[in-house]
Amino acid sequence: MNNWIDAHHHLWDLDAVHYPWLMERGVRRFFGDPTPIQRNYLLEEFRAEAKAEGFTASVHIQVGAQDGMTEAQWVQSVANANPDWRMVQVVFCDLTASDLHEQLNAFQSLSTVRGVRQIVGRAPGEDAQTGTNALLDDPRFLAGLKEVGRRGLSFDLQLIPELMEKTARVLAQAPNTKVALCHAGSPHNRTPAGLNSWAAELLHLAGLPQVTCKLSGLGMFENYWTPDSLSPIVETCLDQFGANRVMFGSNFPVDNLYSDYAKLLSAFRALIPPESQNAVFGETASRFYGFGAQQVWSHQ
- The domain 4-288 is placed in CATH, from the list 3.40.630.30, 3.40.50.2020, 3.40.50.1260, 3.20.20.140, at 3.20.20.140
Looking at residues 207-220, what average pLDDT do you find? 98
pLDDT at 1: 55
Handedness of CA 172, 98, 154, 12 (dihedral sign): negative
CA contacts within 13 A on the Cβ side of 76? 19
Residue 5, strand partner residues: 57
Looking at residues 23-46, what average pLDDT do you find? 91
Strands (DSSP E) found in the chain: 4-9, 55-61, 86-92, 113-117, 154-157, 179-181, 211-215, 246-248
pLDDT tens-place string over residues 146-170 = 999 999 999 999 999 999 999 999 9
Contacts of 292 (CB under 8 A, 6+ apart): 286
Q: Which helix (H) or strand (E) is 262 found in, with range? A: helix 261-271
Read off the amino acid at residue 184: A
**Residue percentage of the chain with pLDDT more than 90:** 90
- How much is the pTM? 0.95
